[in-house]
A = this chain, B = another copy of it.
Amino acid sequence: MSDALKDKKVVIIGLGLIGGSIARALSARNIGGEIVGVGREQDVLQQAQEAGAITSWSTELSPACEDADLVILTVPSLTVHTVLETIKPTLPAQAVITDAASVKSAIVQAAKAVFGETPARFIPGHPIAGSEHSGFSASTADLFQGKKVILTPLEKSDTEAVELVTSLWEALGAEVLTMTVERHDEVLAATSHLPHLLAFSLVDTLSQQGESEEIFRYAAGGFRDFTRIASSDPQMWHDIFMTNGPATVKILDSYIEDLQRLRKALLSGDSEELMKTFKRANKSRARFLEFFEKGGNNSA
């Protein structure tokens, strides 16, 4: 592990599942000098300090960022703009900033709006890790172990800042990859945002049926797993869909088109079309699982 964060002041803004897990992971691994937690709820901050996840805390954004070496934003996407505006006056010029939001274009736009252009030392990032549970109480020190983190540095990004953020995530056990902001938002729309939309929507469709209580009563383990992500935080997913609407709609349209094709096959009893689709999907899922289980999703 690199010593890049030795004796540094790390400020984590937002101590939910992600921010809390970063704090716990840093502390557990004894990385960083001071770890400052910033949030709105005193009891959560106190809980984080008692858990040994942070060394100090504040409910005031601006003073907390004075002398910061690294600021990690783990607040809901739509509040990033306000947070950046608030910390701008006290943020040291040499401080590196990163975030963990699921939609990178919105974060880059927010930074640009606040700073005129996205600061060279602002390196957008996204850990592909999470849970349907949210809040500090769901945070764990090993949330990022073996997971992927995607960084989306811009053309003018500072190389040293990219290296610092990379070494942060690597120190927490993650594999760091880079791609463009646009590619990130497109890939995540397909693999994460669309599945969440479909799961929320299915549970909602069924709950609107007559006797929905009875319907849910007969649902089994397959339904439970398929809809697990519909237990995710509504506010967080609201923010994701408010900011990644176009990319999500693009892949949603492909999906609805494919569903319509299957619908036609169901109505006409098109045995061949159904079999072809299910076999192809079954094979693709096996390929995905191979990546996932053999560490293709966990290591290089």
Contacts and interface: CB of A to CB of B under 8 A. Distances in A.
Interface in A208-224: 208-209, 212-224
A280 B220 contact: no
Interface string A237-256: 11001100110110111111
Given A190-B209, A254-B205, A229 B226 contact: yes
B216 A199 contact: no
Interface string A181-216: 000000110111011111111111111110011111
Contacts of A255: 201-202, 205
A286 interface: yes
A150 interface: yes
A147 B219 CA distance: 11
A29 interface: no
A174 to B, nearest CB: 12
A292 interface: yes
Given A201-B262, A226-B195, A255-B201, A282 B187 contact: no
A192 B222 CA distance: 7
Contact of A218 (B187, B215, B286): B187
A189 to B, nearest CB: 10
Contacts of A223: 191-192, 195, 288
Nearest to A187: B218
Contact of A220 (B191, B200, B218, B296): B191
Interface residues of A, number: 94
A266 interface: yes
A279 B207 CA distance: 12
A18 to B, nearest CB: 13
A277 interface: yes
Contacts of A40: none
Interface string A117-137: 000000000001110100000
Contacts of A281: 199-201, 203-204, 207, 230, 234
Contacts of A202: 194-195, 198, 255
